Structure 1
């Protein structure tokens, strides 16, 4: 039914109990005359986005990724990489083809002398963007589908050895730093997860914590007796009223951020002469130690909060001694 007639009928229905038949006929006549020159449309409660420019589509893509819980570190790569491509090609997105993207990547490498790893990160960004455009029906086909992953030399990221972990603990000059590094190892948390934790989140009796991970997903992590002891000692000597689990050592004792935690570990590395001391290496160390001691990789995946088990496999360091032991045990 035409929207104007729907409106008229709804008004008449609402007035039926109040007006006589002749009055209803008159009301209908007046409404028909008065509404003749108006366009009537039902109000839409949907958010309408009409910016179909390349920049507008990029903004919509980033908003979608943020809504899906994509890490901010990843989102920060999207805009400069994709915007650079859009401006360099200077054509509508639906006209971009596979050759355009290959040409842009080749030219980018030649002009900027970047490593293949950077190019692969760019390719992933483009693939995610054009894949989204295709799924949304904004372009006909994904031009990145035919572009294969760009190979690059992968460096082996080693975990801390037991001796290195001991040296780092001995280098701590205060209870906070000792509790911090023991917590990082025992929990396997991302530094962003540690930053958000409050004292009230710690369940000392059961030695576990519920953390908010990537994509807003909660997971339960566990603590060793040693980590719990150092954490309790640290909290017992605090005199501030901050709810944060880890705070700065100087007034006003604000919540430690990512940069603050990384700075503490960097100084410990400089003091001990151990290279590449950072929070993520403790996470890698826990994953490797758990698997080395017989933990199923599926359990390690849950502890680390990985959606894909292949990500967990990347974290693991294949100890040559373990490989030799397995060979000699199973080859005989």
Structure 2
């Protein structure tokens, strides 16, 4: 180990012009290092006695609560990175350690949204450790939410939607035309997440009632609904298909595999580019569905249920206020 380190250092110094006799320098360095024990730096999180049990049980608890593997992986990534950077036993971590961690992330160019996501994960982790008596004090108690710039994420306008559907209608590939129109109508009617729409099987859809069960975040089930227009377009698409794929949306060529999340996103993005509609992605159809429902008078609690949100505050983020209608109401009450 010492001989290899000495050789690497000597070569680097030779390259930089610091030394001229590499063999002599290496001999001197080996003699100096012989007085020390040299070992590779560990890059794993530090484990301290029974606190390692608290670390493991946190993920077990989250798994039992129904967090997806993707979420668990993200939690582990955030927590492990924090433990490596702070490099202290869990029960000795302070609020200042957390503040310094977030400051370093900010310096590295992380957005305030990312900082808040890190804060949220660490809050959950340390709260669990305190509640289950692994540590006494929660270092996250005095860590404030990072202020984020509130950007209004707009739904598709009626003109945007017409442009998008026009591109689909003009597709010379008949199978692509039917599939893409059906996909757009389904996204607008159900408000499904892209991961949900890609996993729906044909047999899951009750075409008579216009509904089906989807599996959302955290493996939670909910019922979504298809309006008459989307059922009609779906039926036309499925009747035209000649494949044996069991999923609602599949590729256009053999072996006709399920259109996964990436496939749906790429397809929608390409349609948007052809239509000249910027920021065209599946999730924007979900926001559009929610905003359209609100404009037509649907109570926000029902919109929350349709979207599958546990917290109504999340639903409020999705909704936009019609500024034209707001101007009319202002004139009505204050004009």
TM interval, short-chain normalised: 0.7 to 0.9
Q: CA deviation at 1:317?
A: 1.3
- Specify the alignment match of 1:320 in structure 2: 323
Which whole-Å deviations, capped at 9, do the CAs of 1:6-34 have from their partners, x for residues lacking one? xxxxxxxxxxxxxxxxxxxxxxxxxxxxx
**Whole-angstrom distance in 2 between the partners of 1:121 and 1:229:** 41
Task: For 1:1-332, list aligned pairs within 5 A.
Answer: 57-110=54-107, 112-172=108-168, 173=171, 174-331=177-334
Q: Which runs of 5+ in 1 are unaligned?
A: 1-49
- Is 1:55–1:83's contact at 8 Å kept on the other side of the alignment? no
2:299 and 2:333 mapped to 1: Cα distance? 19
Contact 1:198 1:243 in 2 (8 A): yes
Note if contact 2:291-2:318 (Cα within 8 Å) is conserved in structure 1: yes
- SS of the residue aligned with 1:210? strand
Cα 1:51/1:146, change in 2 over 3 Å: closer
What is the rounded CA distance, in whole Å, between the counterparts of 1:175 and 1:295 in structure 2? 30
Partner of 1:196, secondary structure, is: coil
The structure with more radius of gyration: 1
Unmatched runs of 5 consecutive residues or more in structure 2: 1-46, 172-176
* Distance in 2 of aligned mates of 1:72 and 1:318: 35
Native 8 Å contact 2:48 2:89 kept in 1: no
| Larger CA deviation: 215-224 vs 303-312 | 215-224
Aligned residue in 2 for 1:42:
none
Structure 2-normalised TM-score? 0.79
* SS of structure 2 residue aligned to 1:157: coil
How big is the alpha-carbon RMSD for the aligned residues of Structure 1 and Structure 2?
A: 2.0
1:80-106 CA-to-partner distances (Å, cap 9, x unmatched) read 222121011211101111111112212
Residue 247 of structure 1: how far off its partner (Å): 0.9
- Distance in 1 between residues matched to 2:70 and 2:327, nearest whole Å: 38
